[in-house]
Amino acid sequence: MIYQKLLDFPENFLWGASTSAYQVEGGWDADGKSPSIIDMYEHPAGYADFTVASDHYHRYKEDIALFARMGLKAYRFSIAWTRILPRGTGEVNQAGVEHYRDVIRTCKQYGIEPVVTMYHFDLPWCLEQQGGWTSRATIDAFEAYARVLFAEFGSDVKYWLTINEQNTMILHPGAIGLPKGGVLPDRKTLYQMNHHLMLAQARVMKLCHALCPQAKIGPALNLTAMYPVTCRPEDAIAAHNWEVLRCWNFADVPVFGWYHPLAVRYLEDRGLMPDILPGDCETLAGANPDFIAMNYYSTATIAASHGDASDVSARAGDQQIMLGEQGVYRAAENPYVGKTKYGWVIDPTGFRYTLRKVCERYHLPILITENGIGAPDVLEADDRIHDDYRIEFYKQHLHALREAITDGVQMLGYCPWSALDVVSTHQGYAKRYGFIYVDRGEEEGASLRRIPKDSFAWYKQVIAENGKNL
Ligand code: BG6
């Protein structure tokens, strides 16, 4: 659709930016925090680990002051479960509670809306040792953790995100790190874990509505539209297969209370269907998220499966993400999109397309909780970072977002990844996302000084003009 006039961004649009606890905080064992699975995983050699990261745990006041200088209206961050409940459940660590209370208070002093992720990949290690998400006890533990969060912060936090990228955790478990020894759960186990995560999420959404009726809560998923590589009907079927299995199956459960019918048939056919106990269907029903939180980076282009092992290939530049599945789909190239230095597809129009699909499917407002470009930013001799590629990326994606708003998609806000440089999941500080540069490399010992990048000034202007002059 080409419009005569694009609609403006809404007046109260949440212009924000995002981080996650383990990627930015450091202080990995400070003030009573216990290790999470991330702390205990194998770490890629030669890259920064998560022990100090960007030291946000100790520098959050300085960082939030910088966010305010940039004009942010929202800050999406995650709470480390291991700071609140070092044993995974049971006794509350007051130091952890006080830390996040002050993070929230500091945001509010600057008029920044805290958007809180409850769980961003960092399950307490002690729970993992007892079976982690394969155990139903972890569902109870997550609910107990959420109860503490709602009791302590419920009156100050309006936007809650349950679980970050459950679909990444289940479909690409190696993407968040490898357990020591490198053995990942098999697929049947992963779908059982997925079911338990779904139950935990549904219970927590219901709890939120009961305890904090003024708050809004939603799942945070990595959503992406798929293109068939040609108009051959088999390619279209394959694209739909993967769109359902990668995206809609994960969003349908919280919204509609049950798995997507195609996914059910796939799971049954492949012997992957999880054990569903009496009462589970009732638990999943009626969780009623208030919005969908969406992380968007790329689209994918899909061809029909050849039906053999050649369907599976590593995503360009990323050995941790395997794409393709025998009899389901295979990954194809798209000549009409760009790519980052790390091989990730750049597709602003695909952003608009994905937003339209999410809107059409769920009829819920959407909050963008991640979007961004990873790049090897360079601190120049003039003490500046000229990240014009990032500005261009955001310009195009915000234009597409405005087109989506004009298409009728109801948007709550835009919190790109990331507010400041964080440790990337596999490439340390070699690959950066922030509006604010953190002076450090892969080794510890650098100054950790904060330096606004060129994109900082650009985003500040965009926010000040409410996106009118992109
Ligand atoms: C998202 C995750 O999938 O991608 C973030 O929620 C992550 O935690 C981001 O950092 C970018 O991925 P990467 O691998 O470049 O750090």
Q: Give the strand pairing for 330-332 and 300-303.
A: antiparallel
What integer pLDDT is reported at residue 294 of this predicted model? Answer: 98
Q: Hey, which of 370, 373, 390 would you mutate to test ligand 1's pocket, going by the most ligand atoms within 8 Å of its Cβ? A: 370
Specify the amino acid at residue 238: A
Q: Which atom of ligand 1 is nearest to the CA of 344?
A: 15
Report residue 178's pLDDT band, with 50, 70 and 90 as the boundaries. confident
Regarding the beta carbon of 34 and ligand 1, being less than 6 Å apart is answered no
Regarding the beta carbon of 425 and ligand 1, being less than 6 Å apart is answered yes
Q: Is the pLDDT of residue 72 over 90?
A: yes
Per-residue model confidence as pLDDT tens digits over 247-279: 999 999 999 999 999 999 999 999 999 999 999
What integer pLDDT is reported at residue 354 of this predicted model? Answer: 98
Regarding the beta carbon of 165 and ligand 1, being less than 6 Å apart is answered yes
Per-residue model confidence as pLDDT tens digits over 115-147: 999 999 999 999 999 999 999 999 999 999 999
Report residue 43's pLDDT band, with 50, 70 and 90 as the boundaries. confident
The residues facing 226 across adjacent strands are 300
Per-residue model confidence as pLDDT tens digits over 342-359: 999 999 999 999 999 999
Distance between CA atoms of residues 188 and 181, nearest Å: 20
Mean pLDDT of the chain: 97
Distance between CA atoms of residues 71 and 413, nearest Å: 14
Regarding the beta carbon of 9 and ligand 1, being less than 6 Å apart is answered no
Q: Which atom of ligand 1 is nearest to the CA of 422?
A: 10
User: Which top CATH class is 14-464?
Assistant: alpha beta
Angle CA 385–427–244, to nearest 5: 110
Q: Which residues are catalytic?
A: 165, 370
Q: Helix 261-269 vs helix 249-256: angle between axes, to the nearest 10 degrees?
A: 120
Compute how many other C-beta atoms are within 10 angstroms of the C-beta atom of residue 357. 18
Specify the amino acid at residue 431: K
Contact 422, 431 (CB under 8 A): no
Q: Is the pLDDT of residue 316 over 80?
A: no
Q: Which atom of ligand 1 is nearest to the CA of 168?
A: 3
What integer pLDDT is reported at residue 44 of this predicted model? Answer: 85
Contact 204, 141 (CB under 8 A): no
Identify the residue whose C-alpha is closest to ligand 1 atom 15: 424
Regarding the beta carbon of 167 and ligand 1, being less than 6 Å apart is answered no
Whole-number Å distance, alpha carbon 434 to ligand 1 midpoint, is 12
Q: Which atom of ligand 1 is nearest to the CA of 372?
A: 11
The residues facing 113 across adjacent strands are 74
Q: Hey, which of 417, 429, 432 would you mutate to test ligand 1's pocket, going by the most ligand atoms within 8 Å of its Cβ? A: 417
Per-residue model confidence as pLDDT tens digits over 389-448: 999 999 999 999 999 999 999 999 999 999 999 999 989 999 999 999 999 999 999 999
Closest CA to 424 of 38, 33, 60: 38
Regarding the beta carbon of 371 and ligand 1, being less than 6 Å apart is answered no
Regarding the beta carbon of 424 and ligand 1, being less than 6 Å apart is answered yes
Distance between CA atoms of residues 377 and 375, nearest Å: 6
Q: How far is CA 391 from CA 103, 252, 398, in A?
A: 28, 34, 10
Tokens 């969780």 belong to 287
pTM exceeds cut of 0.85: yes
